[in-house]
Amino acid sequence: MNSLSRTPLRVRQPVRLRMVHVARIEQLSPLMRRIIFTGDDLHDFSSTAADDHVKLFFPLPGQDTPVLPEVDTGGRPVRSASSAVIKRDYTPRFFNPETNELAIEFVLHGDGPAATWAAQAQPGQTLGIGGPKGSFVVSENYAHYLLIGDQTALPAIARRLEEMPEGANVTAMVEVADAKEERPLASKANASIVWLPRNGVEAGKSTVLQEALKSYSLPSDDLHVWIGAEIETARQLRTLLIEEKGMTREHIRAAGYWRLGATDGGGRVED
């Protein structure tokens, strides 16, 4: 399966730390809030891949403005006792260089610092942003693409659909809390969106993605699959593709966007 070999493009950027301000807020669904940031520090912002991530730095209790971490001469953050920060990874949903605006979409769930901040955000408030420091750009000439994710990965999936060229074939499987979270996703590609509501099952404990993938017939031998979900779910999906669907690892990109039971956690999914 996947007889063609394609090497993804890896793009590296120097780490930049920026201060940005809330310009406006859009409520996309009951649980999804888009916050548009602006600021002079964004003048050279660049994001090459749909699943890029930036680090958001949030104010500590009692602060109105976050203190950005110290960095070394290479732009890498330096840990020190005096540089305590609250940070989380998020997808740059889109950046408009003409208006100097960067959009980040937040899922309003739980009581973690990011969701808590996003729920009360108001125009004029300040956040820190670092990165992206690198991008992983997948070839655009696969016969078919399969995007699989829960609601935390929806910004990356929506961006990927939006950026795919006309004529590309893509299927997206998206787990959401319920039908109220379903919304139109724009794409020039030949796109099929499969919404998978949990309907009361706790996030991270649902198996709707696994069940949908098991019953899905791979449309082509020339397929690339992208996965973003709770880290154990992402591992299960990747294993299912390899062991039951016969895919090879090189045509699967899987990431844990969060970890059940932890306020911060995730990372690449590997053997």
Q: DSSP for 33-68?
A: EEEEEE-GGGGG----STT--EEEEEPPTT-SSPPP
Shortest CA distance to 93 belongs to which of 144, 37, 43? 37
Residues whose CB is less than 8 angstroms from the CB of residue 76 and which lie 6 or more positions away in sequence, other chains included: 15
User: Which two structure tokens, joined as six digits, stand for 263?
Assistant: 């306020």
Give me the amino acid identity at 101.
E
The contacts of residue 266 (CB under 8 Å, 6+ apart) are 89, 231, 255, 256, 257, 258, 259
Beta bridge partners of 48: none
For the chain, the structural domain boundaries read: 10-134, 139-268
pLDDT tens for 133-177 read: 989 999 999 999 999 999 999 999 999 999 999 999 999 999 999
Under the banding of pLDDT at 50, 70 and 90, the label for residue 25 is very high
67 pLDDT exceeds 90?
no
Report the largest interatomic distance among the alpha carbons of the chain, rounded to a whole angstrom. 56
Query: Alpha-carbon dihedral of residues 121, 79, 156, 133, nearest 10 degrees?
Result: 120
pLDDT per position as a tens digit, 172-223: 999 999 999 999 999 999 999 999 999 999 999 999 999 999 999 998 789 9
Among 3.40.50.300, 2.30.40.10, 3.30.2020.30, 2.40.30.10, name the CATH number for the domain at 10-134: 2.40.30.10
pLDDT digits (tens, 9 = 90+) for 76-96: 666 654 557 899 999 999 999
**Structure-block tokens of residue 223:** 């397929």
Q: Predicted confidence band at 117 (pLDDT cuts at 50, 70, 90)?
A: very high
Domain 139-268: which CATH class? alpha beta
Provide the percentage of residues in the chain whose pLDDT is more than 70: 91
DSSP code at position 185: -
> Could you tell me the CA-to-CA distances from 87 to 60, 77, 266 in Å, in that order?
10, 12, 13
The share of the chain scoring above pLDDT 90, in percent, equals 77
